[in-house]
Chains A and B, each alone.
Chain A
Amino acid sequence: MTGFMNILLYIQIALCAPCLYRIIRGPSIPDRMVGIDIFGILVVGICGIISVITEKDFILDIGIAWVILSFIGTLTLAKYLGGKKLNE
Chain B
Amino acid sequence: MNDMAAVILISVGVLFNIFGCIGLLRLPDIYNRLQAATKCVTLGCCSILIGVLVHFGIGGAGFRALVAIPILFFTATVAAHALVRGAYHFGTKLDKRTVKDDYREAVK
Contact = CB atoms under 8 A, between A and B. Distances in A.
A–B touch (CB < 8 A): the answer is yes
Interface of A: 1, 4-5, 8, 11-12, 15, 18-19, 21-22, 28-31, 33-35, 37-38, 41-42, 44-45, 48-49, 51-52, 57, 60-61, 63-64, 67-68, 70-71, 74-75, 77-84
B51 A48 contact: yes
Contacts of B38: 37-38
14 contacts: A15-B14, A30-B87, A31-B30, A34-B83, A37-B38, A38-B21, A41-B45, A48-B45, A48-B52, A52-B52, A60-B52, A67-B75, A82-B86, A82-B89
A82 to B, nearest CB: 4
Interface in B37-65: 37-38, 41-42, 44-45, 48-49, 51-52, 55-56, 60-61, 64-65
Q: How large is the interface on B (under 10, 10 to 19, 20 to 34, 35 or more residues)?
A: 35 or more
B71 to A, nearest CB: 6
B5 interface: no
A28 B86 contact: no
